[in-house]
Amino acid sequence: MINRSDWVEDFQKNISELIARSPAADIERNMKAFMTQAFSRLDLVTREEFEVQAQLLEKALQRVTALESRLDQLEGREPATGQGAAAAAQTPPGPDTPGAGL
């Protein structure tokens, strides 16, 4: 008598061979080629490239924030953090405020 697991393995093997010889295999190859061609026309990036650019952007934003803070210190202004930022946002610009005339 044939072992049940042998029968299942034979059945799977026969189905795989049948699919490989059927038009389904050709359709699959054609679809893969079509999708590869379509994706190559699009302006896509890989996840790895995206992550690298996101990290570079984060570093740039941190540097800009640090430079803004340093500029505020050099100009003798209070850094715009905490309560100082809230007060600055509520105070309307006066004539001596930088950017008031813009």
Residue 80 burial (C-beta neighbours within 10 Å; 0-12, 13-18, 19+): middle
d(CA 51, CA 45): 10
Domain ranges of the chain: 4-41, 47-79
Q: What is the pLDDT of residues 22-68, one digit of tens each?
A: 787 778 888 888 888 888 888 888 899 999 999 999 999 999 999 99
Two tokens, residue 69: 């803070």
The verdict on pTM exceeding 0.75 is no
pLDDT one-digit tens code per residue, 65-94: 999 999 999 998 765 555 445 445 555 555
